[in-house]
Chains A and B, each alone.
Chain A
Amino acid sequence: QKEVEQDPGPLSVPEGAIVSLNCTYSNSAFQYFMWYRQYSRKGPELLMYTYSSGNKEDGRFTAQVDKSSKYISLFIRDSQPSDSATYLCAMRAGGTSYGKLTFGQGTILTVHP
């Protein structure tokens, strides 16, 4: 079983829809949680970063972490065609393990006009 599970989709939604992307994990040591966005034939870029449990909002994007359930989510409001990309969750443990990120498989999202 993988440490981080993410539904690869693909997910197709109409413009303006609310998108929910999710990851589950098994390693209770994970404390730092990230979402990366990867456009086709590009490298991933950091979208959101959260520490421990709670919510974080940045414009149309909201990241949620529920450590008790080992479950993280990314919500995209008023989705746009430019949001079409692969979304990867990533996480790491605390302490001296800086740099050792574990990624989910990635969810392919298409927002159609």
Chain B
Amino acid sequence: DAGVIQSPRHEVTEMGQEVTLRCKPISGHDYLFWYRQTMMRGLELLIYFNNNVPIDDSGMPEDRFSAKMPNASFSTLKIQPSEPRDSAVYFCASGTGPQETQYFGPGTRLLVL
């Protein structure tokens, strides 16, 4: 298996632009997670899905952030409009309950100028 796939791996954009991050989970996994990692705040859970349904989005920082999972093999995290404070590494992870193993993708490094 190729593991969790994320694209793009790096993104540089200007403040105010829309940013879309993409994730393909491991086939057969029914949970999908979006995290954000910064030096100041560490690794934070933004939202997670179970069977394509959002279960908990309490970590989404504000309305500028939205996430969708239209099918079992694809999810997006969108930031509109982007701000410099959104600069971080965004990780997607997938897993299958009730085990605790979450398999992380390589991350997307986002820089908002």
Residue of B with least CB distance to A105: B42
Number of residues of chain A lying within 8 A (CB) of chain B: 20
- A99 touches which one: B4, B48, B91, B105 (CB < 8 A)? B48
- The answer to whether A98 and B97 have CB atoms under 8 Å apart is yes
List CB contacts (< 8 Å) of A6-47 with chain B: 32, 34, 41-46
* Chain B interface SS verdict (over half): strand
Chain B: which residue is nearest A102 at the CB level? B45
Contact A99 B43 (CB under 8 A): no
Query: Beyond A43-B107, A44-B43, A99-B56: 17 further Cβ-contacts under 8 Å?
Result: A41-B107, A42-B106, A42-B107, A43-B93, A43-B106, A88-B42, A98-B97, A99-B31, A99-B45, A99-B55, A100-B56, A103-B42, A103-B43, A103-B44, A105-B42, A106-B42, A106-B43
